[in-house]
Structure 1
């Protein structure tokens, strides 16, 4: 990356993601222009000639969310609604950005097609499956409602599953569901209001009646669901865990252990970071590299993107692993550095400046043409 090449980040200007990236850019002696998501979500935009353009998350801005959903009103804080409409708005905005990039001869550092696939969990799962990436089994068809989900699980013989909104992120609307005869339990951050609306909460709760769980699933299902079979996670010091592995231009340099005393491990829900060295020690010199190689295999499905965040589960027997999700904006990892001491944003700038990202893309193109 030359000093003469303009650098642009599409993001929400006051967001901590943009702030962290700008700090890394300034530390590298570079400059960056912010293109607000509000402008892109509202209509056509322009880019500087030959710019390199990083696309960051549109989240945590109610007005951006409203514009993407094409809605008259913003959602209340934490409200879960309109996932399919939001996704359609995201695709339209990314299409406008692609046109702007073509006009300016600019390079998008996150392929819009990659982002689109990662924000469609069903499509993402299919792409990973085609590449042979290990992942939990899933229902072939999205259930239209609770009754259809009950029928499909009975046919599959599955008693424990994760039910995920197909366009969701950050565990929004996710249910860890356990069926045992007539008994039902769903552990989730979803809070159901008296008027039927659903909200994200920072506290996990358990619903134990079929009426309550059915009501939540029936509200979520119209926007699309992915249902994955339960993958028993490994535990350490009495807590289960999974890994967030950031792969930058084919290299897995940043790892966060997400440790929980329940089935949902997202850190914003009050869970804790674990010790990567302890996990690495138990996995040993063969299984640890194999686990990271699985993450690189998942990233290889998205070689148009400078970085992806891979959520990897280690099985309870410590011998198997599976990719739970791949995240387009999974690089917000405060305090986590690679072996060279670079945080996630400095490491991405390094991959650009050294040409590693260009080489990663070129190698992938050669593989596809072979």
Structure 2
């Protein structure tokens, strides 16, 4: 095994994650491929029950607690991963846990790759939007942006904020949600008629469940019934921007930023407002997107700069995934979200000129850690 250039010995990783999850196994593969010892994995369920314990000199990666029924039960109070509600409880439990991880790492003399305070912002869309907007990043307009903005608790309050902001099309997003869970794409048409597109479904008792089937609500009564269940967990409202298209499908991009540099990107296309792949989205053609930007008189580098500026708002977190929204015509862009665990892009290697050509997102992160350690040692 090759030693770490910073210390004369191999970098030792510890990962807080779910051992069988592909996020953890793909990262472990990248670590071993670099000639380093396999990472020590601390299961999320164990950390949530009893806290974390690290060893001096370890480099600690905090990974997603998702896709594990026991971790989900401990965080949200239910092991049913299809349920939408419970995100506020999840957020309180998750941020308390990562605070504990941070204390344990400091006490042990371990290095964290994910800052607990920044994770708390990244997992509150209202706070994240406010931070990026304050940094001059172009983002969709929002009446719930920042810590002092209104926090609607029901449909009537949501509608009042939408009216007050002059929004006729908006995304209503659970503040602590992920993977489009509970997201509602709302629009008001002529005569005040409303409709909303969502993958959330209600059972006879009003409980919300995620579905792989995107459906349309066509009356305000249906929309109000759904939003009244979502709002108590916290909602973020933001303008629904008209997006560019590829092959007749709405398109956006997930851009991975590692160590401050955009390294990987995937185009996501869909016939629905949500482009998530599990909801029927498809990977698009990145080269075609770059060509479209340049043909419109824009610069691809400007799009990447927007992602890097958004990531720079979180300087103590090694890697984030930025959702980049290309406006109609491919010349202008806005940042929709910044995701703490946005690096799961299986089979995708770095784009040309990004500094991670031939590497997947996990290999790029391992390489970035080793380069940072070498720079620290040389300083």
TM over 0.5: yes
Alignment counterpart, residue 11 of structure 1, candidates 14, 17, 24: 17
Distance 1:125 1:25 in 2: 33
Correspondence for 1:365: none
Compute the RMSD of aligned alpha carbons.
Answer: 1.6
Runs of at least 5 residues in structure 2 that lack an aligned partner in the other structure: 145-149
Distance 2:326 2:298 in 1: 14
Structure-1-length-normalised TM-score: 0.93
8 Å CA contact retained: 1:40, 1:96: no
State the Cα distance separating 1:182 from its structure 2 match: 3.9
8 Å CA contact retained: 1:311, 1:325: yes
Runs of at least 5 residues in structure 1 that lack an aligned partner in the other structure: 363-370
Q: Helix, strand or coil for the counterpart of 1:301?
A: coil
Structure-2-length-normalised TM-score: 0.91
Q: Helix, strand or coil for the counterpart of 2:80?
A: coil
Distance 2:42 2:312 in 1: 28
8 Å CA contact retained: 1:11, 1:18: yes
Alignment counterpart, residue 52 of structure 2, candidates 42, 45, 48: 45
Q: Helix, strand or coil for the counterpart of 2:312?
A: helix
Is 1:242 matched up with 2:252?
yes
Is 1:107 matched up with 2:111?
yes
Distance 2:375 2:92 in 1: 30
Q: Which runs of 4+ in 1 moved over 6 A?
A: 356-359
State the Cα distance separating 1:68 from its structure 2 match: 2.0
Q: Helix, strand or coil for the counterpart of 2:262?
A: strand
Alignment counterpart, residue 133 of structure 1, candidates 118, 131, 137: 137
Is 1:302 matched up with 2:306?
no
Correspondence for 1:347: 364
**Number of positions where the alignment pairs a residue of Structure 1 with one of Structure 2:** 357
Correspondence for 1:326: 338
Map 1:1-370; keep pairs closer than 5 Å. 1=4, 3-31=9-37, 32-69=39-76, 71=77, 74-140=78-144, 141-180=150-189, 181-284=191-294, 286-338=298-350, 339=352, 340-355=357-372
8 Å CA contact retained: 1:249, 1:356: no
Distance 1:229 1:155 in 2: 13
State the Cα distance separating 1:357 from its structure 2 match: 9.6
Correspondence for 1:367: none
